[in-house]
């Protein structure tokens, strides 16, 4: 299949805004990307917008009424089939703080069915956010379930999550956390600093122990201070760390976005942190098995009864558009939702349009909303645009 577009952003380079304008797909992978005259008649010719790699979300608690922590295989499958509507072609379902035994049960349940989820967006594994976090930076997490990490508890999660546990968010200042980070890192689990009141020095020690990520930069963590830089200061200056970033313009505002992208080039990964309410009408939903409310209003995040922000209702394509609206170059914004998270989790086959990479692609409109999505070269979503329908009926 040959796709031609006014602009193709490969995410391989953030410096060149137009690195190609045609992509040739062979056998579900990218075979060639080029400029100028295409090597043949295009099967799909996009009239406007931009073709980008499929978006990669490494922090998503739920969507379309489904909370991954509590849901069965059919519910996970239903979300995977619909996420391409948002431009997301690969995602990491996230479970938040709960008793260790309950998290282990949820991980075992997921491990049993994730290999069989073959339709829709790719499931990249599971992100466990907690329970080894700071009570004073808990955000929407239930304080009754927060515990310090013990080696046996960490081993239980590693064993239960064999084959699916990919990221674990932990506060490095809690007793036993640095040993837990080393234990998890040895087991191949990526550790992320989050829900933490750590000092900058404590975050640095976490990175030395193996941590490579910071969970939702600015939110539920010690803020930047000019004498104590905190989690935020270390995240922005330590080149070992990549930060997840909820760019709904509620969790983080435009100035904070500009600072983050300027201070940590190539180390900002756009995430949704979406809850079950995402893609749904205002109303009552669950996060961590407990009630949240999605208020009316475009872009408004869900809240707990006390007003605490509780995840988001964000689309990942909207996060890209929001970044651009804040002054981030489009190539940089696209990379932050594709190559950067893919590289963070050691998936160089995803998040870029380059020879040998998976042919996961998204056609974004001039307004940067998803018009069509391909996974492994197969059209899995279209808004009905003539260009994609012509290819389907050809």
Q: What's the Rg (C-alpha) of the chain?
A: 20
pLDDT score recorded for residue 32: 94
Q: For residue 369, count CB atoms less than 10 angstroms from its CB and return exposed for 0-12, middle for 13-18, buried for 19 or more.
A: middle
CATH 3.40.50.2300 fits 55-344, yes or no: no
Domain ranges of the chain: 2-52+353-393, 55-344
Q: Are strands 361-364 and 290-294 parallel, antiparallel or unpaired?
A: unpaired
pLDDT score recorded for residue 393: 45
- Quick one: angle between helices 151-160 and 177-186, nearest 10? 30
CATH superfamily of 2-52+353-393: Urease, subunit C, domain 1 (2.30.40.10)
pLDDT score recorded for residue 39: 86
> Residue 372's closest CA among 51, 19, 21, 16?
51
**Three-class SS state of 135:** helix
User: How far apart (Å, rounded) are the C-alpha atoms in residues 164 and 115?
Assistant: 9
Per-residue pLDDT of the chain (394 residues; tens, 9 = 90+): 999 999 999 998 776 555 679 999 999 999 999 988 888 899 999 999 999 999 999 999 999 999 999 999 999 999 999 999 999 999 999 999 999 999 999 999 999 999 999 889 999 999 999 999 999 999 999 999 999 999 999 999 999 999 999 999 999 999 999 999 999 999 999 999 999 999 999 999 999 999 999 999 999 999 999 999 999 999 999 999 999 999 999 999 999 999 999 999 999 999 999 999 999 999 999 999 999 999 999 889 999 999 999 999 999 999 999 999 999 999 999 999 999 999 999 999 999 999 999 999 999 999 999 999 999 999 999 998 888 876 554 4
Residues labelled as active-site residues: 273
pLDDT score recorded for residue 20: 78
pLDDT score recorded for residue 37: 81
User: How far apart (Å, rounded) are the C-alpha atoms in residues 303 and 306?
Assistant: 8
pLDDT score recorded for residue 19: 65
Global confidence as pTM: 0.97
> And the tokens for 117?
């989820």
Residue whose tokens read 């491990």: 111
**Three-class SS state of 265:** coil
Around 322, how many Cα atoms within 13 Å sit in the side-chain half-sphere? 26
């Amino acid at each position: 299949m040959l796709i031609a577009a006014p602009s193709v952003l490969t995410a391989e380079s953030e410096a060149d805004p137009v690195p190609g304008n045609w992509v040739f797909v062979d056998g579900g992978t990218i075979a060639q990307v080029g400029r100028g005259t295409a090597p043949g008649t295009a099967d799909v010719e996009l009239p406007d917008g931009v073709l980008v790699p499929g978006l990669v979300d490494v922090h998503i608690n739920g969507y379309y009424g489904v909370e991954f922590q509590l849901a069965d295989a059919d519910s996970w499958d239903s979300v995977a089939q619909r996420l391409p509507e948002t431009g997301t072609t690969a995602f990491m379902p996230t479970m938040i703080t709960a008793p260790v035994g309950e998290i282990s049960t949820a991980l075992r349940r997921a491990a049993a069915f994730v290999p069989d989820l073959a339709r829709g967006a790719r499931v990249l594994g599971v992100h466990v956010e907690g329970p080894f976090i700071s009570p004073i930076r808990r955000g929407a997490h239930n304080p009754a379930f927060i515990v310090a990490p013990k080696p046996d508890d960490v081993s239980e999660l590693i064993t239960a999550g064999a084959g699916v546990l990919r990221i674990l968010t932990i506060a490095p200042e809690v007793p036993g956390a640095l040993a837990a980070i080393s234990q998890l890192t040895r087991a191949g689990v990526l550790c992320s600093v989050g829900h933490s009141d750590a000092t900058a020095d404590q975050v640095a020690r976490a990175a030395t122990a193996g941590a490579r990520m910071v969970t939702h930069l600015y939110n539920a963590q010690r803020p930047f201070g000019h004498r104590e830089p905190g989690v935020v200061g270390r995240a922005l200056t330590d080149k070992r760390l990549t930060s997840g970033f909820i760019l709904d313009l509620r969790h983080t505002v435009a100035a904070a976005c500009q600072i983050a992208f300027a201070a940590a080039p190539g180390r900002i990964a756009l995430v949704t942190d979406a809850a079950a309410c995402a893609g749904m009408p205002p109303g009552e939903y669950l996060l961590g098995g407990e009630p949240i409310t999605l208020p009316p209003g475009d872009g408004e995040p869900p809240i707990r009864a006390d007003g605490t922000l509780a995840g988001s209702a964000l689309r990942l394509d909207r996060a890209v558009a929001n970044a651009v609206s804040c002054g981030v170059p489009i190539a940089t914004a696209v990379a932050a939702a594709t190559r950067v998270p893919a590289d963070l989790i050691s998936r160089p086959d995803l998040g870029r349009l380059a020879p040998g990479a998976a042919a996961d692609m998204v056609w974004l409109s001039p307004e940067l909303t998803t018009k069509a999505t391909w996974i492994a070269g197969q059209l899995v979503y279209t808004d009905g645009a003539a260009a994609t329908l012509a290819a389907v009926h050809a």
